[in-house]
Structure 1
Amino acid sequence: MQFSVRVTEYQKNMMLNICDAELLGKKITQDELNIHISESYYGERFVEKEEARDLLKQSSIINMVGKETISLSIKLGVGSENGIKTISGIPFLIVFNM
């Protein structure tokens, strides 16, 4: 399983945007809500599960999309199932560890 990631710094914190690789470039629509899982936001590079795990543990701010990504983060104790939102069957989760 591959993940697509972009790592940046935001207010001196490591920010990780991560998604299941197959979702990159997809547009998701539900009712009047439209979301584009864009390469400019999530697509800096592809990583394998081990590196994704390390990035999830190290990051202070995480924007994540996709069943595999969120499943991995929950197993690591990063984030909570209570915070997961689903749009057209695709789960999203944002975590702040300040």
Structure 2
Amino acid sequence: MTAMLLCERSTPEGLLVSVCDADILGETFEDGSLSLTVDPEFYDGEAATESEVAASLASASVANLVGTETVGAAIEAGFVDEANVLELEGTLHAQYLRM
């Protein structure tokens, strides 16, 4: 089980949440013209459990999620539909937006 890193930021538009699997922090994943860097300035945060991630997503206006465990936790909690998940070099990425 990989640790997840959770970061919350208050913005004028609401709560911005970023979560990633700890073991991919700083990595870059590519697929054709798509490139995703798990930038520590954006994704580094506190170690979190699946229930803490779900609680944060419940309050989020926008969330960026990277990593197999992180995206899996968001799917399990009902925040992300598996059909809307991108895969880049074997790593999962999803975004969540509350309208």
Output the TM-score relative to the length of structure 1.
0.86
2:6 is the alignment partner of 1:5:
yes
After superposition, give the CA deviation of every residue in 1:23-66 in whole Å (9 maximum; x if it has no partner).
11111123343321010010032223332222122212111011
Listed one character per residue, the Cα deviations across residues 77-98 of structure 1 (whole Å, up to 9, x for unaligned) are 1021121111111111111112
Q: For the aligned residues, what is the CA RMSD?
A: 1.6
The answer as to whether partners of 2:13 and 2:61 remain within 8 angstroms in 1 is no
> How many residue pairs are counted as aligned between the two chains?
98
Amino acid at match of 1:75: E
- For 1:52 and 1:35, the matched residues in 2 are separated by 21
1:60 is matched with 61
Letter of the aligned partner of 2:92 in structure 1? P
Gaps of 5+ in 2: none
Separation in 1, partners of 2:86, 2:30: 14
Which ranges in structure 1 are unaligned for 5 or more consecutive residues? none
Q: Is 1:45 matched up with 2:46?
A: yes
Residue type of the alignment partner of 1:79: V
**CA–CA separation in structure 2 for the residues paired with 1:28 and 1:18:** 16
TM-score by length of 2: 0.85
